[in-house]
């Protein structure tokens, strides 16, 4: 339910101003996140999922 509320809120915010931006919401389950693979430079998964970058609902 929170996913749909967040989608609706972001849609309203997006419509408040003239822009060419896009907001992409990609639902990812914890099992998928845990099986994430990186090719190239590695990164800290904790940094990616930190609250300041990501909202999990």
Model pLDDT for residues 7-43, shown as the tens digit of each residue: 899 999 888 988 887 887 877 777 887 787 778 877 7
Task: Give the pLDDT of residue 3.
Answer: 81
- 55/3 Cα distance (integer angstroms): 10
Q: Which of 36, 6, 39 is nearest to 24 (CA)?
A: 6
Q: Sign of the C-alpha dihedral, residues 15, 51, 38, 4?
A: negative
Q: Report pTM.
A: 0.49
Task: Give the pLDDT of residue 34.
Answer: 76
- 5/48 Cα distance (integer angstroms): 23
Structural tokens at position 9: 């809120």
* Domain assignments of the chain as residue spans, ordered by start: 2-48
Q: Is the pLDDT of residue 50 over 80?
A: no
- 36/26 Cα distance (integer angstroms): 14
Task: Give the pLDDT of residue 12.
Answer: 92
């Amino acid at each position: 339910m929170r996913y749909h509320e967040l989608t609706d809120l972001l849609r309203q915010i997006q419509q408040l101003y003239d822009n060419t931006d896009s907001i992409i919401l990609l639902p990812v389950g914890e099992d998928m996140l845990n099986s994430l693979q990186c090719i190239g430079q590695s990164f800290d998964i904790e940094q990616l999922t930190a609250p300041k970058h990501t909202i999990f609902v």
